[in-house]
Structure 1
Amino acid sequence: MDFDLTWLLWGLPVAFALGWAASRLDLRQWRFESRQAPKAYFRGLNHLLNEQQDQAIDAFIEAVQGDPDTTELHFALGNLFRRRGDYDRAVRVHEHLLARADLSRKDRDRAQHALALDFLKAGLLDRAESALHKLEGTAFESEARLALLGIYERSRDWPQAQAIAEKLDAVEQGSFTTRIAHYLCEQAETAHRQGEAAHTRALLDEVVRRAPGLARGWMARSALRSQQGDAAGALDDLLALARQAPLALPLAARGMAELARQTGRSAPVRALLEDAQAQAPSIDVTEALARLAEQPEDARRAYLRHLDAEPSLVIASQWLAGETLSDAKAQASVQRAFDNASGPLKRYRCAACGFEARQHFWQCPGCQAWDSYPARRVEEL
């Protein structure tokens, strides 16, 4: 059967017409979607202004499905929700971004970082830790490690904190030597509570080797030696503290005086404390000198020398306690008034947040800052 060319002549115009119609339909669809995208934006903005965050998110997600260039809108919306404390909504926004197949590597890392911050702010530390570990090798690696450091400190996972701090120290993200030494001290305290004396000593030896200027290491090792009956070695550690960290001497002065009396080395310790007192009068150093006094008169003179150099209600109260006035009843009332007035002045105050405490902390319970407590009392600041 011969092929009829007539059908070909009819077919070409028909194919052309169908192609033209299809192109017009695509154009109309594109125009329809282009009009719909701005409407979705405005609808989402309207919901946001009306405090309808769920509807706003749905509207913005609808907008982004037709226009991949709205990534920045998602980031802005997620950050807004996080700042407002709407962590669930922030997580939804950033998880939606991560679910997109067309997201660039840079934006994917950014979304992963934002998601980790959502979990962190919400207090979901386990999920935050998992999200932060996924940022290794990205542009957010350093920020992620710092956030992990905060998580491990809050959970008191000191070995993990030490590992992260050593990574940060290795890439020169500031010096973490002192922070690592504190982590070792925390591990030493744990080992000591568990009765692991040898491990405790090894950790503290590492502390004084790594950070000889950290008073905590010397004081902790001195306390350990004292408990083990090595009073001479314990005093040697506190004398090393006086050389390596002289500003922290007030923290060790009382222990130094007690160990000096136990070991019969009161004279050199008294000379050291008197020299420190002459340079910068300290309440704790004065009290240590009073403990070393062989006669009550010597203790009173130590208090008076302090008062001559620097007025102090705390020291005045200590001096009054050693005096005998003619009216014993009046003296008791005056002493009680002095003690009440001087009590708050004996506290330590965090230089970072102002949190006050009766005892000295190496890490502030209020703001979690390290070494933020000066070695001096509130009255001396």
Structure 2
Amino acid sequence: MAHVLVLGGGFGGLAAAHELRRRLPRGDEVTVVAMSDKFFVGFAKLWDLAGLRPLLDGTRPLERLANRGINFVQAEITGIDPAGHTVETTAGTLTGDGMIVALGATYRPANSALLGDGAFNLYHAAALPGIHAALEEMTEGRVLISIMGAPYLCPPAPFEATLLLEERLRKEGRRDRIDVTVSTPAPLTLPVAGPDASRYLADQLVERGITVLTEHHVESIDHAAGVVRFDRGRTVECDLLLAVPAAAPPPVIAASRLAGADGWIEPNKRTFATSAARVYAVGDCTLIRTATAQLPKAGVFAEAAGRIAATNLAADLYGGVRLTFDGYGFCFLELPGQQVATVTGDFYAKPRPDVRLTPPDTASFAAKQQWEQDRLTDWLD
């Protein structure tokens, strides 16, 4: 009887756990270990921010995994021994016959240290009440949405948040007194999607009177004065800062033997196998290099990788089919008016990713809603 450990309860971990449960014999055990006891789709935070739907409505408890024959242990992972398929956790030591690491990413400490006093982490669900309170108090001034570094999670999200927030302020009759500005250190809004999609997104922002600052690297924040200082001596005054810190590997990953030179796990880009036997790594804790940059850190890719890794680990244990990832994927790009565009294509293509932007429509928004519901239902309802 085999026991497989899945480290992480996000997209990659849940996709892997369910695929393992489907492929392994009934008597085998699948155990998910995660620090949080809840799951939600990341873009649901933006719907909460925009006043479209509370985050709680799209949140499910991971204890429901038991209904699908999957063990759940809520604990912090403090050590990983890939050779022994063993993890140290705050709930004790766990050992398996194989392992899928899907621990996600954290935030660059230097970026996080700059936040506080009117400067919130846009991606942190726990920050939503504070953001709402600050927004409700604003009658005039400037909201600045600022990407602090790269890579960062879910490349379209900061711009989606900017557009949805602008729409909210307009509906509430405050837009003419509140400026909305978005900044990025990159030369384009969406480098991973290419110049055409980036130009389209920039046009959408500018058409709504949003100031777009490219090649702006945050250096410091003067909270008392409400000033964000960028490189080359540039400054922007703001009354509310919604920041997107650069992603960083979790310390337990960076300290493990799985980590590469940059602290991320760099598995095989097709199979997601690591250098350790029967150990796979998927999702935001990995660095998957492409022709021009790296595979986006997004749930769509983590889910696909999780299923492939689980299939291959099952084959390691019992033989059978093996799968490889072809580089194809997509990202939602939500626009005002409940419309969604998609960026779709081959992210592994050479000499650069071959992706295209599909124009927005309400049908794609409905498809995005259904995409979320399918995962909540299939995994945790």
State TM-score, norm by structure 1: 0.26
Structure with larger Rg: 1
Which structure has the highest strand share of the two? 2
